[in-house]
Amino acid sequence: MFCLRSILLLGSCLSLACADLRADLMAAHVESVFSEDAKYPNASAAFNLRFEFHPAAVTYPTSEQQVSEIVKIGKKNNVPVVARSGGHSYIANGIGGRDGSLVVDVMHLKRIDFNKTTNVASVGTGNRNGDIAQALVALGRDVSHGTCPYVGLGGHVTYGGYGYASRIWGLALDDIVGMDAVLPDGSVVKTSDHEHQDIYWALRGAGGSFGIVTTMHFRTHEIPKAATTYRFNWILDVEKSISVLLAYQNASARPDLPNELGIRHELRRGLYPGTVNHSLTGTWNGPADQFYAILDRFLKHYPEPVDSYVHNGTYFESLIYHSDKGTLNTTNPDDHDTFYAKSLATPQDYLLTEEAITKFVHVVANQGQSTTTGWFIQIELWGSKNSAINAFAYNHTSFVLRNTLFVMQFYASSHDKKPPFPQEGFEFLDNAVGSMTSTMPKGWEWSAYTDYIDGNLTTTNWQHLYYGKNYRRLQELKREYDPNFIFGKFPTGIEL
């Protein structure tokens, strides 16, 4: 059968295959949305409106068992399966990163159980950063996680998970002690250091290529007794911009910088031509009376800020402040955006040269001024040597960044956050990254961060940038567990 409808829906699925898929999902009593359903436009919309893909169906399982059935149905019908947790993948990998995927939205897997004896939290992947933080902080505990409350745990954790406590606790994936997952053959397994170790290793760094995680088991930490939340702002000319970035790097690279300091340096469009706006922001999770002594290691090299905010308060207040939303509650729908983002991870044992920083600042002061996009660049401190993130060998998990000083995130939105995204926006960010990567001496090696995934990197050596020396083993495991690509058919997924 070939009808007009199937032509129009090309890319979602051809009618015969679709009919089978629908019948199978109905027989399994799985809540599903297909392209002809009224709910489809919403159900299939990406957070980043730069991408528009047409999934074969979007499913909403209510149990791990249903996830397993959906995976088996996808396999039987030859439709690649992809998990969506919060749906914030920068390149829409949560809806498959291409047309025709069977999306498994885990939003109903919302359980959060806390074991008071072991302090282990078992958390369904339908939860988001804000949900887990609210539940755990009420118990005086938390895990390492990022600042954005709406970001779902599935992708955030299996591809890293940086936050202001990461220098003390490690990344979110370092707080994992086990993951329950559905594998490409539909089997439901518990993975940990003791069971299915290979998959466990692969899930912590390249999750989407190997399984659908349904429950994450986290060790939890007592929350810091006090937290100082801060932001300092400057408007600086090119010369001063270069000098503060050099100072930021020098102060950051010192191995005696206490891990209780969470910090990032932000750049934005300068208020006046020829300037760049700068901020230092983050959380000091140590005793309040030590805050200025630590921050002065940075501030003494910066001019007087134009304004600042410093609040000695609680850990929870700090999460709220950095959420940008005034609340960690995730019940309202999140806003969409139309954006391009990239990352650059710098090695801690080879600092950016003054020449590289100078070229970067020129791009930011010039193109950053003329672009129509709204943008920010965040230079997160992951290192240095004594940071908990860097306490592990590169192959402890498949997540490879274990020798990083900074992860820089470059993010530009179209002027009204709606499509289209302008070509000059791509050029601006590519130049901002390229200004450094093309200037640094030979022998300096950079990487990129999977949680700030950039689809345009697929035209370069993304395998090396994202997975480094772990890529080969990931490929071996892919060959063993999923040679037919039930999972991970999206851009930047592990290839054979």
Would you tell me which residues interact with ligand ABL (CB under 6 A)? 146-148, 266, 324, 376, 409, 411
Residue placing its CB nearer to ligand ABL in the complex, 96 or 163 = 163
CA 420 to CA 414: how far, in whole Å?
Answer: 7
Which tokens belong to 62?
A: 């209510």
Specify whether 60 is catalytic. Answer: no
Burial class (CB in 10 A: 0-12, 13-18, 19+), 305: middle
CB of 283 to ligand ABL, least distance (A): 13
Q: CA-to-CA distance for 72 and 197, rounded, in angstroms?
A: 23
CA distances from 24 to 56, 85, 219, 486 (A): 13, 23, 38, 17
Nearer to ligand ABL, 48 or 101 (CB): 48
> Catalytic one among 162, 452, 467, 471?
452
Which one, 356 or 407, has the nearer CB to ligand ABL?
407
Please report how close the Cβ of residue 153 comes to ligand ABL at its closest, in angstroms.
14
Tell me how far, at minimum, the Cβ of 340 lies from ligand ABL, in Å.
Answer: 12
> How many C-beta atoms lie closer than 10 Å to residue 311's C-beta?
15
C-beta of 147 vs 435, nearer to ligand ABL = 147
**Largest alpha-carbon pair distance within the chain?**
74
User: What are the tokens at 314?
Assistant: 């609680």
Q: Are 60 and 28 in contact (CB under 8 A)?
A: no
CB of 266 to ligand ABL, least distance (A): 6
Name the one residue in this structure whose structure tokens are 């999770």.
285
Secondary structure letter of residue 467 according to DSSP: I
Strands 227-237 and 275-284: what pairing? antiparallel
Nearer to ligand ABL, 40 or 376 (CB): 376
Shortest gap between Cβ of 277 and ligand ABL (angstroms)? 11
Find the shortest distance in angstroms from Cβ 351 to ligand ABL. 23
Q: Which class for 123: exposed (0-12), middle (13-18), buried (19 or more C-beta within 10 A)?
A: buried
**Burial of 231 per CB tally in 10 Å (0-12, 13-18, 19+):** middle
CB of 476 to ligand ABL, least distance (A): 31
Beta strands in 257-390 (DSSP E): 261-269, 275-284, 307-313, 339-347, 374-381
Minimum CB separation of residue 279 from ligand ABL in Å reads 8
C-beta separation of 486 from 380 below 8 A:
no
The dihedrals phi and psi of 433, each to the nearest 5 degrees, come to: -70, -45
**Closest residue to ligand ABL: CB criterion:** 376
C-alpha to C-alpha distance for 431 and 435, rounded to whole angstroms:
6
Residue 207 beta carbon to ligand ABL: minimum distance, rounded to whole angstroms = 18
- CB-nearer residue toward ligand ABL: 70 or 341: 341
Residue 150 or 291: the one with the smaller Cβ distance to ligand ABL is: 150
Which one, 231 or 297, has the nearer CB to ligand ABL?
231
Q: Are 211 and 487 in contact (CB under 8 A)?
A: yes
Give the phi and the psi of residue 216 in degrees, each rounded to 5: -110, 135
Nearer to ligand ABL, 215 or 343 (CB): 343
Nearest-5° angle of CA 475, CA 47, CA 401?
35
For residue 414, give the nearest of 433, 428, 434, 399 by alpha carbon.
Answer: 428
Backbone angles phi, psi at 302, to 5 degrees: -105, 155
| Identity at 495, one-letter amino acid code | E
Q: Which positions are annotated as active-site residues?
A: 452
